Amino acid sequence: MKKLKLIVLFLLFANAALYAQELDVNLQVRPRFEYRNGYKQLLQEGQKGTSQISQRSRLNFNYKQDELAVKLTLQNTRTWGDVPTNAVADKNGVAVFEAWAQYNFTEKWSARMGRQVLSYDNQRILGEQDWGQQAQSHDALTVSFHTEKQKLDFGGAYNSTAENVLQTPYTVANYKALQYAWYHNQFNEAFGLSFLVLNTGYEYAPNPNPDNKLLVDYKQTFGPYLAYKTSKIDANFWAYGQTGKSTDQEVSAWNAAVNFGYQITDAFKAGLGYEFLSGKDTNDGSTVIKSFNPIFGTNHGFNGYMDYFYVGNHLNNVGLQDAFIKLNYNVNKWQFALIPHVFLSAADVVTPLNEKMDSYLGTEIDASFGYNFKKDITVTGGYSQMFGSKTMEFIKNGDAGHTNNWAWLMISVNPRIFSWKK
């Protein structure tokens, strides 16, 4: 039945092409092998690592006619073997990753509605999270004003569990409402400045709650992003603050970072950077949330590839300081990268015996490669190792003396299977 639906959708789009200006259909098949031996957390004594293969399969339809643009992306994410070979149904099924329509009112003004990706600047706060096989998209309405040098986007979302007729708790692990505005000014070819304001509201029931009330508290995330790029220099800086409330608790947190890269030769680039994400002392008894949350950022691309921090973890904790070096070497079809990180807590780590621990959390070494095998085929992989400390053991449990490492290999096949232009 699901295959029949896909065929019908394809025929509808193909029929529309008779009247359309452009129709493009492409496919992605992306399996990834991972060996996890202390990935995301230190292994505890007696525990053993594991391996698995996950896969993303996507079908993308892109349609344009005059001022109208429509995109539909269907995807399936799976772990090899999560259903038997004779299964009559898939575990995850086929999901709609993107389904939006955009109308261009003028050359500068446009509006987009539906399931869509919200991705801005370096994706620290709003990003696609493309590393995750499921990635990330939002049900939203966005309005854009774009000129050659200036861009202004603003949008919002309002979520419900179903088409209810009475007030019903929103039980999805998601925001109830969202509003944002993003402004970018490209002053010249080298220098650009952006400013983001994001307002997220999460629903909760107060305790005690004799009247069965449902409340929504809003948290604001805001700040600038600066980027400077020439043929030799690639640098950026950002600073974000967080305020407002979350489940009746005050929020006061911040994040700042600076990165500098230099193209030493055509093939070799070196850089360094530092990021600070505020945290809360472990012996701080206040109810104020002082730990910064990157919210919808593509967090796998920051703070180490082993995802010890902010990839579904390390929230409302002691924060993080991340100092790192980036070394990149590209030759022919090959790309190589080596990124060592030194991690420290951003707040005090104090034991129940009131003993202050060292702020040093550990060192992670990330090595990765990429190879452009064919026009539509790329092979990427890597190896990472975490050298944790006693402080890391305290805040994340596990055994720092254990060999905690992670390796992966991914093949991405992205062919264009149909293209038509009137």
Number of H helices, E strands in the chain: 2, 20
pLDDT of residue 8: 45
pLDDT of residue 14: 53
Listed as ranges, residues in the chain with pLDDT below 50 are 1, 4, 7-8, 17, 20
Residue entry with tokens 């790309």: 335
pLDDT of residue 152: 98
Q: How far apart are CA 206 and CA 214, in angstroms?
A: 7
pLDDT of residue 40: 96
Domain ranges of the chain: 2-421
DSSP 8-state class, residue 126 = B
pLDDT of residue 212: 86
pLDDT tens digits, residue range 228-252? Answer: 999 999 999 999 999 999 999 999 9
pLDDT of residue 45: 87
Q: Give the burial string for 21-51 (b: 16+ CB within 10 Å, else e).
A: eebbbbebebbbebebbbbbbbbeeeeebee
pLDDT of residue 66: 92
Look at residues 238, 241, 267, 265 and name the one whose alpha carbon lies nearest to residue 252: 241
pLDDT of residue 1: 46
Residue 405's Cβ-side half-sphere holds a number of Cα atoms within 13 Å equal to 10
May I ask the CATH class of domain 2-421?
mainly beta
pLDDT of residue 412: 98
**25 contact partners, CB below 8 Å, separation of at least 6:** 10, 13, 59, 60, 61, 62, 416, 417, 418, 419
pLDDT tens digits, residue range 90-100? Answer: 999 999 999 99
